[in-house]
Amino acid sequence: MGDELIRNIYERLGGIEAKIDDIRDIRQTADNAKDIAEEALASTKNAHHRLNKIDKIVWWVSTTIIGAVILGLLTLVIKTY
């Protein structure tokens, strides 16, 4: 009875060690996923800032062109009268 109890305890300890190793693996995987997610977030923020800059440039160019067209039309109207 004593040997069987000790063997049972050793088997349970082995199972606990295996579960602890599994938890360590899961933790490592979670840490890697967190690092990848943080890199992706930083990359997304950079892309967003670049798109904002491009949007500002497009806005400036388009308003300049529209202003030039309006100014040209006004010049034609004024010269014809």
**Is the pLDDT reported for residue 9 higher than 70?**
yes
Q: Which helix (H) or strand (E) holds 67?
A: helix 2-80
Per-domain boundaries in the chain? 1-56
Smallest CA-to-CA distance from 80 within 15, 59, 72, 49 is with 72
Model confidence pLDDT, tens digit, residues 53-66: 999 999 999 999 99
Tell me how many helices (H) and strands (E) the chain has: 1, 0
For residues 1 and 27, give the distance between their C-alpha atoms in angstroms, rounded to a whole number: 39
Q: CA of 43: how far to CAs of 3, 5, 60, in Å?
A: 60, 57, 26
pLDDT at 50: 96
